[in-house]
Amino acid sequence: MTRWRLTIEFDGGPFMGWQRQDHGPSVQQTLEEAVERMVHERAVFTAAGRTDAGVHALAMTAHVDIERDLTPHRLREGLNALVRPQPISVLEVQEAPDDWHARFSCIQRRYLYRILNRRAPPALEAGKLWHVPVALDVEAMQEGASMLIGRHDFTTFRSVHCQSDSPVKTLDRLDVTRNGEEIHIQAAARSFLHHQVRSMVGCLGLVGRGQWRPEDMGKALEARDRASLGLNAPPHGLYFVEAVYP
């Protein structure tokens, strides 16, 4: 038995999310079916994070245990051939120690949220970013974002379906920058609550539009109440960028 560590890119559009679901296709199920066809084993993939339906990954990290002897090259090439035409690509495969765990060994998760901030809708990247047609004030968004940095009770930014033991998390980074017509929001933390990034970005969108002042971000946080939440940004602008390990 070998524990394999994989780095995986996927377009979240056709999936119900990373995790297996009864009601639709998932990235996990697609990969597990590919392994079953390849080596006739029912292996289970575990990822660093469970992404929502529609959320993309530039480089998700996952692990899987496989009995059959394989080389990293053969596992990657086999999976990439067998997941076609689904938009999943295994970028890297390496052997990992038996006690290495994609979820529990991870010390930081990094996300990118992409906003297309122009009047005209996206043509080339439809489904790959959040289209906000009114001009957003990036400085105000950055000022609002800075109020969430650090260790806080993030109940306001938590989904009712969140399974985390505690709403207290430490947000290491929440940066808002303009790149031409795009606004990029980069978030990093050891772990996030369910919907936390999309909830924070949704509120930053209100700040950018001038409907909230930057300090309203801090007030929403202090309220510790879902009713104080502005709105969730849509999933298709969100990318899982990196899982960091010691």
Q: Which residues bind a copy of itself (CB under 8 A)?
A: 9-11, 56, 58, 76, 80, 87-92, 118-124, 126, 128
Residue closest to 206 by CA, chosen among 224, 187, 232: 232
Residue closest to 110 by CA, chosen among 155, 151, 51: 51
d(CA 104, CA 245): 10
Tokens 């002042």 -> residue: 213
Least Å from the CB of residue 7 to a copy of itself = 9
d(CA 83, CA 37): 10
d(CA 24, CA 34): 17
**Closer Cβ to a copy of itself, 56 or 169, answer by number:** 56
Is 111 among the annotated ligand-binding positions?
yes
Least Å from the CB of residue 230 to a copy of itself = 26
**Closer Cβ to a copy of itself, 29 or 89, answer by number:** 89
Tokens of 175: 């940066």
Catalytic residue among 52, 98, 99, 165: 52
Least Å from the CB of residue 33 to a copy of itself = 17
**Closer Cβ to a copy of itself, 186 or 191, answer by number:** 186
Least Å from the CB of residue 75 to a copy of itself = 12
**Closer Cβ to a copy of itself, 90 or 185, answer by number:** 90
Active site residue 225: no
Q: Yes or no: say if 242 and 59 are a contact pair by the CB < 8 Å rule.
A: yes
d(CA 198, CA 151): 18
Q: What positions carry a catalytic annotation?
A: 52
